[in-house]
A and B are shown apart, each in its own frame.
Chain A
Amino acid sequence: MSLIADEIIQFSSVLRIAYNLLTGRNYLKRKKFREKEILVAVTLPFSDLPFAAGTIPVFPIRMHQFEISQYLTYLGSASSIFGWNTVSNFLGFIRNLGINEVSKIVDNIIEDVIDIINKKYNEMYDIGIENGISSDFCYGLKSLIGMHVTKGSNVNACFNVTIRCSAYNKYLESLKAINQGPKQIWVDIPPRNIGNAIELLTENISTALNEFEKLTGNNVTDNDLRNHFKIGNQVKRSYKNIIYDISASDFYPCNPATFSEIMALLSITFQDYNSNAARYRDNIVSLEKEMRERIRKGIGMDVSKMPRIFVTPMFGGWEPKSHEIIYELGGRALYADWELLKLLEEIPTGPHTNPSEEYARFLMRATETGIGCDNEKLTDSYLRMASDLNADGLIFFQLFGCHSISNCYTMLREKVRRELEIPITAITFNKIGENVEQVKTRLGAFMEMFK
């Protein structure tokens, strides 16, 4: 995987995002103990209200110590003195000089990032099962339970947003049984946008904000909400630009496996913005710029002959070797889960808007037209996304124990074949690394169709 690592080093913003993800524990400890900030556990990309309320949202896995290379730590320290760009350029310069040892070290640092995170996910999965969750549940839920069992007591509150997945909602309820300390703050999204459902959701959001106010002792003003939404919108804009302008284009700023690796990193980190919205915004904006700059200079790879394979869903667990295998088989894997679920929609921030209501509209849109209140809607989302990405094929990860999304596959397969007329296949998934050979075989057979 050295090629992938070689490519990533060209993007200092990726290094920063990866570094911030892996070193979350120290950052959060500092925030909690030195700066007396309030930590709030979040899952899925629902960090907007905690940010606006002045708390620190955290996707719980980030409270863990990761086995990161000491070199990344040195890199982080050096960057705090010299700046990330300087460090990145310096490393690139050394590598270009052919000092292999340094180049190898740098390669190792980067290639380890996704592997390290996934190893930790698997560890959480095992802890989840050891602590009583039935092995019949999906990878995501088992891992989330593991995260809360191990680190959930460190947060001051859990922010719980109901979605259509009943297992997920029950998992949210179980959090107070796992750790009795943290306050539970809920937003219940009405299942459908009928009557004055938006008004009710707006009130639910206001109630949640009141709970945040009690937690922090500070008022959350409309401007607090708008200011955070502005940052969130910038993040979403860059994220969308990367998805549509770059991942769907014919020239990539790096090889496609690297590109997928970056997209996977964004998918994970988008949930809590690495606990610092402004820093994350700066990084993703600069990532987009770096990509565009490389494309402008003609640095990268012509991928016009490589079929676009839309790989989804991956947010609840997927085999991360897939994109590398697809690349080796001559294709490119596209990841766009959050956009598919309509969670990259911008939230209006005009001075005369009611930000709570705008957030309610955002959540309702995601519920109604993204994840959908039934499989008819959900499958439409997959179709829309595959079509928007101009995908040549679709790989659907069918998670063992997922009753919400995986169950739509039969309907999706029919629709894709009928309406898009592109190949589609399902790959069953239980745990990272468990069935890589089987995944290879399935992908091999699938990619044959494009030859």
Chain B
Amino acid sequence: MDDSSLLSEFTLFLKEKKQEGIKVIAYLAHDNIPEELIDAAGFFPLRLIFGGNDELMDASHDFLPPSTCAFAQSCIGLFSVKPNDYKFLEMVDYIIVSNHCVSDICVSEIISKYFNIPRLNFYVSYTINENSLKYFKLELQDFRNQLEVIIDRKISDDDIHNSILKFNNFKKKFLEINELEMLGSEKLKLIHKSMLFGPDFLHDLENLIQKVKNAPQSVSNTSKDVLLTGCSIFINDNMIDLIEEGGGNIVFFDTWIGNHYYSQIIESNLIDRENDPLDVLVLRFKNNIYGDHSVPDFLEQKVSFIQKYFENYKKNKGRKLGVINHIIKFCDHISLMSSFLKETLQEKGIQVLNVERDYSRANRGQLSTRIEAYLEMMK
């Protein structure tokens, strides 16, 4: 999937933001970062959701051993190599060091230290319970303070409320992408663009969604429907091409960019201006039960979600659904749980393909063969 035009459009968009005096805060795009606070403080939240290649991964080896998550390697590579399509990374003013996983910490820290980008800290507990929610609020308060120091003014509760509403409405529209009758790769392009541009894309997104609703795109009847779980397919990654070339069509993206993001929609009646807006963000964290960061119930939640989706899909569409668990090589969270996920789902009659890969060109042939074989088996 060549996303050059998307990236060049985004470069122009970001330049405009910078010309308006808006500063950019980048982060490895995990699902617990309070983008609403970033927005309320007048910054632009930039999710690093870019796939890699051999060159980018190689470039990271001055800083990290090759046995590091391929996505993490590529993020460093992007800042080190700064390929033409990614020149907009020069516009990044701050980077958030967070602990979605330990590679998130290492990479953000390296980007900050070696590419001279000031860091902001935002850490998240590993469990979700009463105390970790309280801790999350402490981190939110601390993050708010860090932002206020930079802008040299207080961020008002009203501004935070407005941003929460803005992002919440955006997520509600985003959710509709799911139900669109269109090819998975087209859906993914919409998801990528939405995640990259954020609520600024809302108006265009509404139009695009309406357009597809009015004239659904035909998807081949012979293609096999697939739910993608595990690691996200990021911008400029050819993974979805391999699936489609093999005869598959991703109908649901149960990943970081996709379900994990829009499943955090907050019911409007809970966004009450009388209440502390940080509590609403805590609620969002609490609701994020599908995110892979948390322990000890991630596997159970994941299995239960996929099972439910699988059964509903079969019932409503009358079609079989495959599950591809996408594992970016050396990803701590997805890789460690992959054999347990596969085993548990297969016990429930759901066929799962664990696809582990990095961004190197060399493994393309092997990946294609595996995906094709799996999709064949789904007949």
Are A162 and B109 in touch, CB under 8 angstroms?
no
Residues on B with beta carbons closer than 8 Å to the beta carbon of A403: 67-69, 101-103, 106, 330, 332
Residues on A with beta carbons closer than 8 Å to the beta carbon of B299: 173-174, 177
Are B126 and A169 in touch, CB under 8 angstroms?
yes
Residues on B with beta carbons closer than 8 Å to the beta carbon of A402: 67
B341: nearest chain-A partner, CB-CB: A177
Are A374 and B337 in touch, CB under 8 angstroms?
no
Residues on B with beta carbons closer than 8 Å to the beta carbon of A428: 65
The one of A172, A186, A195, A401 that contacts B142, using a Cβ cutoff of 8 Å: A195
* Chain A: interface size category: 35 or more
Are B102 and A191 in touch, CB under 8 angstroms?
no
Q: A137-B336, A162-B127, A191-B99 are in contact. Are A401 and B67 (CB under 8 A)?
A: yes
Please measure, in the bound complex, the distance between the C-alpha atom of A196 and the C-alpha atom of B131, giving whole angstroms.
11
Q: A160-B296, A172-B296, A400-B67 are in contact. Are A408 and B106 (CB under 8 A)?
A: yes
Please measure, in the bound complex, the distance between the C-alpha atom of A194 and the C-alpha atom of B136, giving whole angstroms.
11
A295 interfacial contact with B, CB 8 Å: no
A108 interfacial contact with B, CB 8 Å: no
Interface 1/0s, chain B 285-328, versus A by CB < 8 A?
A: 00000000101111100000000000000000000000000000
* Closest Cβ–Cβ distance, residue B27 to chain A (whole Å): 15
The one of A136, A174, A408 that contacts B337, using a Cβ cutoff of 8 Å: A174
Which residue of B134, B293, B329, B332 has the most chain A CB atoms within 10 A of its CB atom?
B332
Q: A134-B356, A190-B135 are in contact. Are A173 and B295 (CB under 8 A)?
A: yes
The one of A141, A170, A200 that contacts B134, using a Cβ cutoff of 8 Å: A200
The B332-362 residues at the A interface (CB cut-off 8 A) are 332-333, 335-340, 343-344, 356
The A134-191 residues at the B interface (CB cut-off 8 A) are 134, 136-137, 141, 160, 162, 164-167, 169-174, 176-177, 184, 186, 188, 190-191
* Closest Cβ–Cβ distance, residue A138 to chain B (whole Å): 9
Residues on A with beta carbons closer than 8 Å to the beta carbon of B338: 134
Interface-lining segment among B17-25, B32-40, B117-125, B163-171:
B117-125
* Closest Cβ–Cβ distance, residue A346 to chain B (whole Å): 26
B210 interfacial contact with A, CB 8 Å: no
Are A196 and B138 in touch, CB under 8 angstroms?
yes
A409 interfacial contact with B, CB 8 Å: yes
Residues on A with beta carbons closer than 8 Å to the beta carbon of B63: 410
* Closest Cβ–Cβ distance, residue B51 to chain A (whole Å): 19
A234 interfacial contact with B, CB 8 Å: no
Residues on A with beta carbons closer than 8 Å to the beta carbon of B102: 164-167, 403-404, 407
Residues on A with beta carbons closer than 8 Å to the beta carbon of B141: 195
Please measure, in the bound complex, the distance between the C-alpha atom of A409 and the C-alpha atom of B69, giving whole angstroms.
16
Are B67 and A136 in touch, CB under 8 angstroms?
yes
* Chain B: interface size category: 35 or more
The B94-114 residues at the A interface (CB cut-off 8 A) are 97, 99-103, 105-106, 109-110, 113
Which residue of A376, A398, A428 has the most chain B CB atoms within 10 A of its CB atom?
A376
Residues on A with beta carbons closer than 8 Å to the beta carbon of B129: 188
Residues on A with beta carbons closer than 8 Å to the beta carbon of B339: 131-134
A375 interfacial contact with B, CB 8 Å: yes
The one of B99, B134, B336 that contacts A174, using a Cβ cutoff of 8 Å: B336
B330: nearest chain-A partner, CB-CB: A136
A167: nearest chain-B partner, CB-CB: B332
Please measure, in the bound complex, the distance between the C-alpha atom of A373 and the C-alpha atom of B343, giving whole angstroms.
34
Interface 1/0s, chain A 184-214, versus B by CB < 8 A?
A: 1010101110111100100110000000000
Residues on A with beta carbons closer than 8 Å to the beta carbon of B109: 374-376
Q: A136-B329, A200-B135, A410-B62 are in contact. Are A188 and B125 (CB under 8 A)?
A: yes
Residues on B with beta carbons closer than 8 Å to the beta carbon of A167: 102, 332, 336
* Closest Cβ–Cβ distance, residue B17 to chain A (whole Å): 29
Please measure, in the bound complex, the distance between the C-alpha atom of A167 and the C-alpha atom of B106, giving whole angstroms.
14
The one of B103, B126, B330, B356 that contacts A188, using a Cβ cutoff of 8 Å: B126
Are A136 and B106 in touch, CB under 8 angstroms?
no
Q: A132-B339, A177-B344 are in contact. Are A191 and B123 (CB under 8 A)?
A: yes
Which residue of B64, B110, B135, B299 has the most chain A CB atoms within 10 A of its CB atom?
B135
Residues on A with beta carbons closer than 8 Å to the beta carbon of B329: 136
A411 interfacial contact with B, CB 8 Å: yes
The one of B121, B293, B295 that contacts A192, using a Cβ cutoff of 8 Å: B121
A349 interfacial contact with B, CB 8 Å: no
The A78-114 residues at the B interface (CB cut-off 8 A) are none
Residues on B with beta carbons closer than 8 Å to the beta carbon of A134: 335-336, 338-339, 356
Are B335 and A132 in touch, CB under 8 angstroms?
no
Residues on B with beta carbons closer than 8 Å to the beta carbon of A400: 65, 67
Are A194 and B138 in touch, CB under 8 angstroms?
yes
* Closest Cβ–Cβ distance, residue B259 to chain A (whole Å): 20
A283 interfacial contact with B, CB 8 Å: no
Residues on B with beta carbons closer than 8 Å to the beta carbon of A20: none
The one of A174, A191, A192, A398 that contacts B65, using a Cβ cutoff of 8 Å: A398
B157 interfacial contact with A, CB 8 Å: no
Are B139 and A200 in touch, CB under 8 angstroms?
no
Q: A170-B336, A197-B138 are in contact. Are A375 and B99 (CB under 8 A)?
A: no
* Closest Cβ–Cβ distance, residue B315 to chain A (whole Å): 28
Please measure, in the bound complex, the distance between the C-alpha atom of A128 and the C-alpha atom of B67, giving whole angstroms.
19
B53 interfacial contact with A, CB 8 Å: no
Are B132 and A188 in touch, CB under 8 angstroms?
yes
Residues on B with beta carbons closer than 8 Å to the beta carbon of A160: 296
* Closest Cβ–Cβ distance, residue A451 to chain B (whole Å): 29
B343: nearest chain-A partner, CB-CB: A132
Residues on B with beta carbons closer than 8 Å to the beta carbon of A188: 125-127, 129, 131-132
B134: nearest chain-A partner, CB-CB: A200
Please measure, in the bound complex, the distance between the C-alpha atom of A188 and the C-alpha atom of B220, giving whole angstroms.
49
Please measure, in the bound complex, the distance between the C-alpha atom of A195 and the C-alpha atom of B278, giving whole angstroms.
15
* Closest Cβ–Cβ distance, residue A141 to chain B (whole Å): 8
* Closest Cβ–Cβ distance, residue A199 to chain B (whole Å): 9
A406 interfacial contact with B, CB 8 Å: yes
Residues on B with beta carbons closer than 8 Å to the beta carbon of A141: 336
Contacts A167-B332, A194-B139, A375-B105 given; 11 further ones with Cβ under 8 A? A132-B340, A136-B329, A162-B126, A164-B99, A164-B105, A174-B337, A188-B126, A190-B135, A195-B141, A373-B105, A403-B67
Q: Which residues does A use to contact B, with CB under 8 Å?
A: 131-134, 136-137, 141, 160, 162, 164-167, 169-174, 176-177, 184, 186, 188, 190-192, 194-197, 200, 203-204, 373-376, 398, 400-404, 406-411, 428
28 contacts between A and B (CB under 8 A): A131-B339, A132-B343, A134-B339, A134-B356, A137-B336, A160-B296, A166-B101, A166-B103, A166-B333, A170-B332, A170-B336, A170-B337, A172-B296, A173-B337, A188-B126, A190-B138, A194-B138, A194-B139, A200-B131, A375-B106, A400-B65, A401-B67, A403-B101, A403-B332, A406-B67, A410-B62, A411-B113, A428-B65
Nearest 10 Cβ contacts at the A-B interface: A132-B339, A191-B123, A166-B101, A195-B138, A167-B332, A173-B295, A170-B336, A166-B332, A188-B127, A162-B126
